[in-house]
Amino acid sequence: MLLLALLALVGVMLGLVLTAGVAEADRTSLTGVPEAYRPWVIRAAGECREPGLTPALLAAQLSEESGFRVDARSSAGAEGPAQFMPGTWATWGRDDDHSGSASPYDVGDAVMAQGRYMCSLLGQAVSSGFADDPRRLALAGFNAGWAAVEGSRGVPPYAETRRYVADIMGNLSRFQAGDSMSPITGTGIGPEAVRRAATQLGVPYSYGGGSPAGPSRGHCDGVGGYRDGQCLADTTVGWDCSALVQYAYWPARRLPRTAAEQYSATADRAVAQAALQAGDLLFWRHSDGHIYHVALYLGDGQMISAPKTGDVVKVARVGDMPAADFAGATRP
């Protein structure tokens, strides 16, 4: 009985690790921020169950809001490094650093409040079903208020808000540690497809989700879309692997929807591994021949991939996939 109890405890703990939402590397990978901010940014991201809230996103937002200035204050009355208005601070601010008071000018208090607020906004963005990256919608809500996002069913048409969202999304790579993404060079539909796919980095995987119009809720079909027996795809706005590829190439190449169909449509333009270029499609198949995954080649052995339920669109090494399953590469 004791052995069974111990095994059950190990299983529960392993389940907690596996259901963390985002790989630990994504939750601790951070560079380019002042040391006083680093532990708080990592902690704030780690306490949110929304996979889109990474340390890099919080850091890029802090950089945009205040340039990491503790004493920042705007003409409109926004305060501290995360630029909270007093009314919003009253809702989200707490004494996270245990200094005896909650202050928007304390790094710990400000960053943790920013994380809570952004986590809530991401949850609303995912639940909204609006056809846009949930991170963009959450950032727009932080800047203009969620009511403005709901009213526009997307990022509202305010010049300041659109610049704010574009600046933060464009600066994510500055703060993402680990294997840096290979630069996307060259012109033509292949490099352009990779650039378009790269705008979706960090968006959740959703089985059956995504279309040429953008990320969307997916579906569970008895096989895919589940994690730990729970259907996640029905409530997750995001991408599966082939939808991301279809979106990346649309409308220059109107690829079909599934990985198997994309392989059939491009198999006559096979590419040797030694000749791979940015934008080439990489395919993997099961032993029965069924194509189960597709990704976009980036360069230097890297790819942009929407891998599986519970993960996010990310840059990965081609070698991370089983070599025995590699079906080949094609050029759309």
How far lies 205's CA from each of 18, 123, 147, in Å?
Answer: 15, 15, 26
Order of strands, sheet of 302-305, starting from the edge strand that comes earlier in the sequence? 270-271, 326-330, 281-285, 291-299, 302-305, 314-317
Which percentage of the chain shows pLDDT scores above 90? 71
Which H or E run includes 304? strand 302-305
Q: Is the peptide bond before 251 cis (omega within 30 degrees of 0)?
A: yes
CA atoms of 214 and 154, how far apart (whole Å): 12
> Which region, left, alpha or beta, applies to residue 67 given φ > 0 means left and ψ of -120 to 50 means alpha?
left
Q: What is the mean pLDDT of the chain?
A: 88
- DSSP codes of every residue in 272-303: -GGG--TT-EEEEE-TTS-EEEEEEEEETTEE
- Output the pLDDT for position 13: 33
Amino acid at 325: D
pLDDT exceeds cutoff 60 at 291: yes
Residue range 89-110, pLDDT digits in tens: 999 999 999 999 999 999 999 9
Task: Tell me if the pTM is above 0.85.
Answer: no
Which domains does the chain carry? Answer: 18-175 (1.10.530.10), 189-330 (3.90.1720.10)
CA dist 85 and 136 (Å) reads 20
Residue 113: what residue type?
A
- CA–CA dist 24, 18 (Å, integer): 10
Mapped onto helix, strand or coil, the DSSP state of residue 3 is: helix
User: Which residues have CB under 8 Å from 16's CB, separation 6+?
Assistant: none
pLDDT at 76 over 80: yes
74 and 104 Cβ atoms separated by less than 8 Å? no
Which residues partner with 312 through β-bridges?
Answer: 204
